[in-house]
Structure 1
Amino acid sequence: MLRIGNHLPSSKGYLAMAKHATKLNANTFAFFTRNPRGGSAKPIDESDIQAFLAYTQEHDIDHLVAHAPYTMNLCSAKPDIRQFGLNMLKDDMVRMEYTPNQYYNFHPGSHTGQGVETGIEQIAAALNETLTPEQHTIVLLETMAGKGSEIGGKFEELRAILDRVTLQEKMGVCLDTCHIWDGGYNIVDDLDGVLTEFDRVIGLDRLYAVHLNDSMNPCGSHKDRHQKLGQGCIGLEALTRVVNHPALKDLPFILETPNEDEGYAAEIAMMQEAAQ
């Protein structure tokens, strides 16, 4: 069974998100833990959480992929921004335990001139300061497009972060189709080759989720501009191969395409129909 959903607004609470997912015929979804462009987070409503957990069990909604805010940069050259990000990460790990055994995805960050190696060390240090043996959440590093000074545009950079994290069992990767395409990994003409390379460098056993997006730009552009499924440079045929690939088909797929509800529902239905 294909698990697919999209990013849902979290402002109305967990139960509202689950009902929203059902309305779109989704069986998983993503959500921001707090304002994606800021740092504030709503207080946890435990009664809402309990209703949410019951609803998701009843409607078989699982493999949720929470997303850190874009403002969380664990490898900024500015110490105050790194500390701001670390504080958010620590708080989010506490919040994620209210919905245990789910995934928490974040952009590794931009080294802002310090260099990739320094950035990698800082990201790993923040994770080592935050992760605990008791937590039930798997933290995912997202593959990036490699624009500017961002880290994660190459599989080797993600592997370097993972190698430096002590609690390896709490870590994984989320693969974004737009990002890796824009980063130079040709999933249109050589999906098998890209996944073989991912397995060689990182290991397919570390892959927990996929962001399913088309791209506005050609392969290797390093732009990170998402497009609706089938309307970009990757194309529907290649994205269908992604959801049906034996190494990927059992993972949760999250849509981050430029859509409203009607468009997301259509894309969910389209990919469910295409799934073999």
Structure 2
Amino acid sequence: MLNIGCHLSVSKGYKAMGEEALKIGANTFQFFTRNPRGSKAKEIDPKDVEALLQIIKENKFAIILAHAPYTLNACSADEHTREFAINVMEDDLKRMEYLPNSLYNFHPGSHVKQGAQVGIGYIVNMLNTVLKPEQTTTVLLETMSGKGTEVGRTFEELKQILDGVTLSEKMGVCLDTCHIYDAGYDIVNDLDGVVDEFDRIIGLDKLYAIHLNDSKNPFESHKDRHEKIGEGSIGKDVIIKVINHPKLRHLPFFLETPNELSGYAQEIKILRQAYIE
């Protein structure tokens, strides 16, 4: 079965996200833990969360994915910004225990001209500070497009972070198709080669999820602008190859295309029809 969903808003509540997922033919979804451009988090209603967990159980959802806010930058040159990142992630991981055994994804951040190695050191420090042996959440580093001074533009940079984390069993990677294509990994002409390179450098056992997005920009543009499936430089045929790839097809796929719910429903329908059972 194709495990696929999209990004939903938690503003209406946890149960509402489960209901919206069902309406559009999804069997998983992604959501922001808090305001994506700020720091405020919606107060958790345990009964609302329990209603979502019941929907997940009854409908046999695949694992769900939470996304940290974009304001989280663990490798900023500013100490207060780094402290903010630690505090937010620490709080998020406590809140994630209401949804046990889920995934939590974050952008590694931008080193702001300090150099990638300095940035990697700060990210490792944050993860070694906030990760706890008892947590059930797996934290994912997202592959990045390489705009500006982003860390995580190469598999090697992600590997360095993973290698520095003490509780490595709590860590994994979320691969974004738009980001890696914009970063210079040619999934259009050599998907097998890119998958093999990921396996060689990081290991496919560390790949937990895929953000499924087309790209508004050409190959190796380092821009990070998502496009609807089939309307960008990656193309529908390649996206279909990704969901059917023998080494990827078992993973959960999350759409982050510029869509309303009706658009997501249509993309999910198209991809389900193209998935080879």
Give the TM-score normalised by structure 2.
0.99
* 2:35 pairs with 1:35: yes
Residue in 2 aligned with 1:160? 160
Residue in 2 aligned with 1:25? 25
- For 1:249 and 1:37, the matched residues in 2 are separated by 32
* 2:180 pairs with 1:180: yes
AA aligned opposite 2:178: C
**What SS does structure 2 have at the residue aligned with 1:35?**
coil
- For 1:27 and 1:132, the matched residues in 2 are separated by 29
Trace 1:254-273 onto structure 2 (pairs within 5 A): 254-273=254-273
Residue in 2 aligned with 1:125? 125
Residue in 2 aligned with 1:5? 5
Residue in 1 aligned with 2:274? 274
Residue in 1 aligned with 2:204? 204
Trace 1:75-94 onto structure 2 (pairs within 5 A): 75-94=75-94
Per-residue CA deviations over 1:100-139 (Å, capped at 9, x if unaligned) read: 0110000000001111000001001000000011000000
- For 2:43 and 2:266, the matched residues in 1 are separated by 33
- For 1:245 and 1:77, the matched residues in 2 are separated by 40
Report the Cα offset of residue 177 of structure 1.
Answer: 0.1
Residue in 2 aligned with 1:147? 147
AA aligned opposite 2:168: Q
AA aligned opposite 1:58: E
- For 2:7 and 2:30, the matched residues in 1 are separated by 4
Unaligned stretches of 5+ residues in structure 1 = none
Q: What do you get for the CA RMSD once the two structures are aligned?
A: 0.6
Fraction of identical pairs, as percent = 61
Report the Cα offset of residue 49 of structure 1.
Answer: 1.1
Aligned residues: 276
Per-residue CA deviations over 1:165-221 (Å, capped at 9, x if unaligned) read: 000100000000000000000001000000111011100110000000000111100
**What SS does structure 2 have at the residue aligned with 1:174?**
strand
Residue in 2 aligned with 1:70? 70
Give the TM-score normalised by structure 1.
0.99
* 2:131 pairs with 1:137: no
Residue in 1 aligned with 2:194? 194
- For 1:13 and 1:103, the matched residues in 2 are separated by 18
- For 2:50 and 2:226, the matched residues in 1 are separated by 34
Report the Cα offset of residue 227 of structure 1.
Answer: 0.3
Unaligned stretches of 5+ residues in structure 2 = none
Report the Cα offset of residue 70 of structure 1.
Answer: 0.2
Report the Cα offset of residue 261 of structure 1.
Answer: 1.0
Report the Cα offset of residue 62 of structure 1.
Answer: 2.7
After the TM superposition, which segments of 4 or more aligned residues of structure 1 sit over 4 Å from their partners? none
Residue in 2 aligned with 1:236? 236
Per-residue CA deviations over 1:55-79 (Å, capped at 9, x if unaligned) read: 1111122310110000000000000
- For 1:12 and 1:172, the matched residues in 2 are separated by 29
AA aligned opposite 1:200: R
**What SS does structure 1 have at the residue aligned with 2:105?**
strand
AA aligned opposite 2:51: A
Per-residue CA deviations over 1:26-76 (Å, capped at 9, x if unaligned) read: 000000000000000011101111111111111122310110000000000
- For 1:275 and 1:244, the matched residues in 2 are separated by 6
Residue in 1 aligned with 2:96? 96
AA aligned opposite 1:38: G
AA aligned opposite 1:57: K
